[in-house]
């Protein structure tokens, strides 16, 4: 990395927070930073498939507007990012990851407008699977998202394009949405930090009106501080910096910016000792055969050793088996695409997974969907009760190493759904519970029969309701010991 801050050929090597500091100090301008990233996207997007749409002219126009008209006090002033291809931005095509539903909207979604208000600069749309329905990003409408650590592997999903962009240095950080793990899964697969906020913290993008109530928006980033910086930009705040609770679905309190906690890596006076649970059981254990790979177990072991060395209490825990979770979650997941008003011609253009879910959802009665809601709300209550004695609970983020492209069955879709649950059994239960969770990379694989050397593996920390600050503090402590920010994939 060059010693001269702000040179366009090395700006991507700075963290998002460092880039923000360069912008604030006038060492680089929003136009210069945007130009540097657009040049990098032009050079590498064909390799990793991170963006389905690049809006270079609009990005430069926006950068000039931010530079000349927006005050530097905006929390994300001048920082580039990408919109997930499930979100509408006025005048930009939204494909929803599908050949059946492309459109150019005349409006922008709430999360897009919030990020604009925070001073961010969108460089385009990041790739996503069709309607965000899968945990892998191999859409037929656009580029397959390839893992920068090994291009023959996938990035996870559904924020897979965002993860590829950040891991390959095409963006300093990126927003994603998470309805069943869609921020944490690709973050873990690509060696990134991914934060799913608790239900209600981020009003923009909060899917409370959706039939499932599972989805929230959250950041993907290379460092914990960068994730906290983007999270702060997602939250509407008053001029004095406090959260504008008129738009949040949670009680006032804890208004200190999350970035401050992440930078300190501590809470209070720094002597706080947390009580941590370690859990390798999942809500899917009663439905499918779930096996945690040696690599996933090694990541948990590494995190536990580190946190124990830091003085935190460690205790094994687990979830009580719930045979209702799997069928209820599947029923609820299928109810979303079943409400999309496809014409027969449009449905024929959708992918096999979407068609399978539409059929499954359409065959359900209203009473069956209502019962699925009821069963999952019961699961939510019990999960929160079972984990209530811990400040945070450690699990693997993924049960397996990043999956090869084409690994998920495209013929037997019931098997495809089972594969997705076996790959990601620890994430969707957190969406059902509404709890916050963060994934942080802690381990790289060694060469073995089932995985090549050097792949990133992360652990998930599940927090209490409103426990985002605790998660950021713990993740920052892990990050400092592991020193992950200095590791980069071959595509860098």
Question: Which of the four pLDDT bands, split at 50, 70 and 90, describes residue 269?
Answer: low
Chain segment 70-108, per-residue pLDDT in tens: 999 999 999 999 999 999 999 999 999 999 988 999 999
- Whether 8 has a pLDDT exceeding 50, the answer reads no
**Could you tell me the residue ranges of all domains in the chain?**
11-486
Q: Would you call 341 exposed, middle or buried from its count of C-beta atoms within 10 A (0-12, 13-18, 19+)? A: exposed
- Whether 21 has a pLDDT exceeding 90, the answer reads yes
Contacts by 4-11 with C-beta closer than 8 Å and gap 24+? 6/32, 8/32, 8/35, 8/36, 8/39, 9/36, 11/36, 11/37
Please give the positions annotated as active site. Answer: 84, 158, 182
Question: Which of the four pLDDT bands, split at 50, 70 and 90, describes residue 245?
Answer: low
Q: Would you call 376 exposed, middle or buried from its count of C-beta atoms within 10 A (0-12, 13-18, 19+)? A: buried
Q: Give the pLDDT score at 238.
A: 72
Question: Which of the four pLDDT bands, split at 50, 70 and 90, describes residue 200?
Answer: confident
Contact 253, 468 (CB under 8 A): no
**CA 430/CA 438 separation, integer angstroms:** 10
Residues in contact with 343: Cβ distance below 8 Å, sequence separation at least 6, in sequence order = none
Residues in contact with 55: Cβ distance below 8 Å, sequence separation at least 6, in sequence order = 92, 122, 123, 124, 125
Locate the DSSP E strands across 222-302.
Answer: 275-278
pLDDT (mean) for 350-363: 98
- Whether 252 has a pLDDT exceeding 60, the answer reads no
Chain segment 154-195, per-residue pLDDT in tens: 999 999 999 999 999 999 999 999 999 999 999 999 999 999
- Whether 397 has a pLDDT exceeding 50, the answer reads yes
**CA 20/CA 222 separation, integer angstroms:** 14
Question: Which of the four pLDDT bands, split at 50, 70 and 90, describes residue 268?
Answer: low
Question: Which of the four pLDDT bands, split at 50, 70 and 90, describes residue 290?
Answer: very high
CATH code: domain 11-486 is 3.90.1300.10
C-alpha angle 455-458-464 in degrees, rounded to nearest 5: 170
- Please provide the average confidence, as pLDDT, over all residues in the chain: 93
Partners of 444 in beta bridges: 456
Percent of the chain's residues with pLDDT above 90: 85
- Whether 209 has a pLDDT exceeding 50, the answer reads no
Contact 55, 122 (CB under 8 A): yes
Which residue shows structure tokens 């779930």? 290
Question: Which of the four pLDDT bands, split at 50, 70 and 90, describes residue 480?
Answer: very high
Give CA separation, 106 vs 92, 311, 437, in Å.
9, 54, 34
Write out the two tokens for 469.
């600050």
pLDDT (mean) for 419-437: 97
**CA 131/CA 211 separation, integer angstroms:** 15
Q: Give the pLDDT score at 210.
A: 57
pLDDT (mean) for 206-211: 52
Contact 179, 214 (CB under 8 A): yes
């Amino acid at each position: 990395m060059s010693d001269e801050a702000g040179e366009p050929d090395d700006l991507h090597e700075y963290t998002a927070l460092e880039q923000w500091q360069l912008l604030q100090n006038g060492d680089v301008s929003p136009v210069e930073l945007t130009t540097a990233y657009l040049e990098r996207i032009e050079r590498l997007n064909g390799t990793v498939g991170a963006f389905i749409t690049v809006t270079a002219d609009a990005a430069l126009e926006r950068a000039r507007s931010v530079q000349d008209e927006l005050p530097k006090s905006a929390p994300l002033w001048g920082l580039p990012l990408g919109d997930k291809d499930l979100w509408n931005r006025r005048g930009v095509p939204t494909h929803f990851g599908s050949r059946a539903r492309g459109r150019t909207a005349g409006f922008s979604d709430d999360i897009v407008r919030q990020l604009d208000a925070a001073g961010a600069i969108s460089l385009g749309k990041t790739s996503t699977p069709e309607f965000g329905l899968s945990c892998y990003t191999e859409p037929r409408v656009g580029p397959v998202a390839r893992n920068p650590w090994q291009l023959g592997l996938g990035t996870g999903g559904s924020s897979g394009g965002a993860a590829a962009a950040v891991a390959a240095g095409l963006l300093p950080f990126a927003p994603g949405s998470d309805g069943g793990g869609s921020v944490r899964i690709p973050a873990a697969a690509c060696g990134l930090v991914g934060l799913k906020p608790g239900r209600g913290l981020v009003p923009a993008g909060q899917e409370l009106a959706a039939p499932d109530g599972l989805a929230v928006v959250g950041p993907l980033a290379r460092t914990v501080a960068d994730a906290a910086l983007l999270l702060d930009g997602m939250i509407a705040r008053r001029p004095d910096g406090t959260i504008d609770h008129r738009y949040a679905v949670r009680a006032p309190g804890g208004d200190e910016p999350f970035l401050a906690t992440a930078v300190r890596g501590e809470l209070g006076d720094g002597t706080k000792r947390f009580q941590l649970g370690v859990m390798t059981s999942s809500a899917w254990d009663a439905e499918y055969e779930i096996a945690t790979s040696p690599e996933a177990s090694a990541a948990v072991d590494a995190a536990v050793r580190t946190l124990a060395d830091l003085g935190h209490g460690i205790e094994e825990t687990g979830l009580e088996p719930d045979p209702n979770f799997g069928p209820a979650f599947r029923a609820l997941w299928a109810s979303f695409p079943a409400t999309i008003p496809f014409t027969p011609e449009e449905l024929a253009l959708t992918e096999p997974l979407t068609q399978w879910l539409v059929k499954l959802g359409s065959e359900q009665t209203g009473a069956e969907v209502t019962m699925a809601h009821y069963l999952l709300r019961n699961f939510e209550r019990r999960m929160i009760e079972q984990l209530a004695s811990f400040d945070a609970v450690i699990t693997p983020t993924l049960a397996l190493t990043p999956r090869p492209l084409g690994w998920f069955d495209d013929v037997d879709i019931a098997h495809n759904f089972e594969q997705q649950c076996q790959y990601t059994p620890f994430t969707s239960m957190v969406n059902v519970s509404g709890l916050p969770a963060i994934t942080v990379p802690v381990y790289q694989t060694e060469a073995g029969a089932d995985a090549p050397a050097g792949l990133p593996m992360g652990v998930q920390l599940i927090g209490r309701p409103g426990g985002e600050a605790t998660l950021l503090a713990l993740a920052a402590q892990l990050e400092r010991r592991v020193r992950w920010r200095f590791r980069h994939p071959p595509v860098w």
